[in-house]
Amino acid sequence: MASAGDVWVGNGLGEIDRHQPMGTNVVFPTLCTQVNAMVFQGKTLFLADAFGNIWKVNTDTLTSEFFPQSFISTTLAIHNGDLLSGSADGKLRRMRTSDGTVLSTMTIGSTVDAITVEGDTVYIGGHDTFIRRGSAMAGPFTIIGACGGQVHSVTVNGNELLAAALDGKVYRINKATGQYQGFWNLPAGLGTPQVAMSGGYLVAGGVDGLLRWLNPTTGAVQFSTAICSNIHALTVVSTCKADLDRSGDLNANDFATMLNVYAAGSPHADIDGSGRLSANDFMAFMNAYAVGCP
Ligand SMILES: [Ca+2]
């Protein structure tokens, strides 16, 4: 159910990078000013910058357009074909993806720094350290939990909401009841942490520019790689798992890439989505290869 695959990163200078099994490449050296948030709808990348612009990037043609707004989006999500924006002025807005027109606005209260959507439910984290939950279409948003610091990024792992806060901790909260399950410490020096689930891993990025894949329950670092300085936004894009070299088709190169990423301990070799590497991943790779890619 959880998506896994390529990780796209935006940094403090507006650089956009894509990390995939064959390595990391720079997609745009400087698309804009600081990237606040990124989200994909199919192959379209939506991005919010620190000037209040919403960028719409076609990742096939690498062409873009942008929609200036009167507010600063700090976090983005997709719901029902629309773009959801959480903002520094404490609002949750629904925007049309074709031209950025604001379709509706709900007042949350505190500065919104993080949203994540599952089904029709939105989870919100912000400056006041609270976690709020409500309907994506109509609200209302009620407080279900609290963290020990400003919440900067949220993601869902099964029954748990994971909230990365500015106190350097990830808080685990039962997403249905709000019950506090515990916390673990992020690696030091992340600054403003960004997190997203990728299969059985939690991917985290921050100011030190390293992308890390962590155990989402314990925080243990499973794998890390240097991406760029000052990661401000990241999003995970699900891909055809067997097309490991991302060539668009399946051939012997994908077997060679599987062997290489497995030998390197890369989370891209976790084909069965268990959050660790084992012989089962080779079985899962063979099965995925036999099924083929859409
Ligand atoms: Ca391939």
Are residue 66 and residue 104 in the same domain, yes or no?
yes
**Beta-bridge partner residues of 286:** none
Which pLDDT score, from 0 to 100, does residue 2 have? 46
Which pLDDT score, from 0 to 100, does residue 110 have? 84
User: Distance between CA atoms of 54 and 238, rounded to whole angstroms?
Assistant: 22
247 CA distance to ligand 1 centroid (A)?
4
Are residue 57 and residue 187 in the same domain, yes or no?
yes
Which pLDDT score, from 0 to 100, does residue 67 have? 98
User: Distance between CA atoms of 11 and 232, rounded to whole angstroms?
Assistant: 5
Pairing, β 53-58 against β 63-68: antiparallel
Are residue 190 and residue 92 in the same domain, yes or no?
yes
Which pLDDT score, from 0 to 100, does residue 105 have? 97
DSSP tag of 176: T
Contact assessment for residue 54 and residue 44, using Cβ atoms and an 8 Å cutoff = no
Q: Is residue 25 part of a domain?
A: yes
- Which tokens belong to 233? 């936004």
Which pLDDT score, from 0 to 100, does residue 3 have? 63
Are residue 268 and residue 159 in the same domain, yes or no?
no
R_g (Cα) of the chain, nearest Å: 18
Contact assessment for residue 91 and residue 103, using Cβ atoms and an 8 Å cutoff = no
24 CA distance to ligand 1 centroid (A)?
17
254 CA distance to ligand 1 centroid (A)?
5
Are residue 256 and residue 220 in the same domain, yes or no?
no
220 CA distance to ligand 1 centroid (A)?
31
289 CA distance to ligand 1 centroid (A)?
10
235 CA distance to ligand 1 centroid (A)?
22
230 CA distance to ligand 1 centroid (A)?
31
Residues with CB under 5 A from ligand 1 (ion): 243, 245, 247, 254
List per-block mean pLDDT (blocks of 10 residues) for the chain, which spans 294 residues.
79 96 94 95 96 96 96 98 97 98 94 97 96 95 95 97 97 96 95 95 96 97 94 94 93 96 95 94 96 88
User: Distance between CA atoms of 5 and 273, rounded to whole angstroms?
Assistant: 10
Are residue 233 and residue 276 in the same domain, yes or no?
no
Are residue 132 and residue 194 in the same domain, yes or no?
yes
Q: Is residue 209 part of a domain?
A: yes
217 CA distance to ligand 1 centroid (A)?
32
| pTM flag (> 0.75) | yes
Helix 252-263 vs helix 279-291: crossing angle, to nearest 10: 160
Among the listed residues 285, 256, 262, 234, the one whose alpha carbon sits nearest the alpha carbon of residue 24: 234
**Where does a domain end: 238, 262, 279?**
238
How many folded domains does the chain comprise? 2
Are residue 156 and residue 286 in the same domain, yes or no?
no
User: Distance between CA atoms of 38 and 42, rounded to whole angstroms?
Assistant: 13
241 CA distance to ligand 1 centroid (A)?
10
Q: Is residue 244 part of a domain?
A: no
Are residue 139 and residue 257 in the same domain, yes or no?
no
Are residue 31 and residue 175 in the same domain, yes or no?
yes
259 CA distance to ligand 1 centroid (A)?
13
290 CA distance to ligand 1 centroid (A)?
13
253 CA distance to ligand 1 centroid (A)?
6
Longest CA span, the chain: 54
Are residue 162 and residue 256 in the same domain, yes or no?
no
81 CA distance to ligand 1 centroid (A)?
30
DSSP tag of 267: G
Are residue 40 and residue 139 in the same domain, yes or no?
yes
58 CA distance to ligand 1 centroid (A)?
22
Residue range(s) defining the domain that contains residue 281: 252-291
242 CA distance to ligand 1 centroid (A)?
7
Q: Is residue 181 part of a domain?
A: yes
212 CA distance to ligand 1 centroid (A)?
25
243 CA distance to ligand 1 centroid (A)?
4
Which pLDDT score, from 0 to 100, does residue 1 have? 36
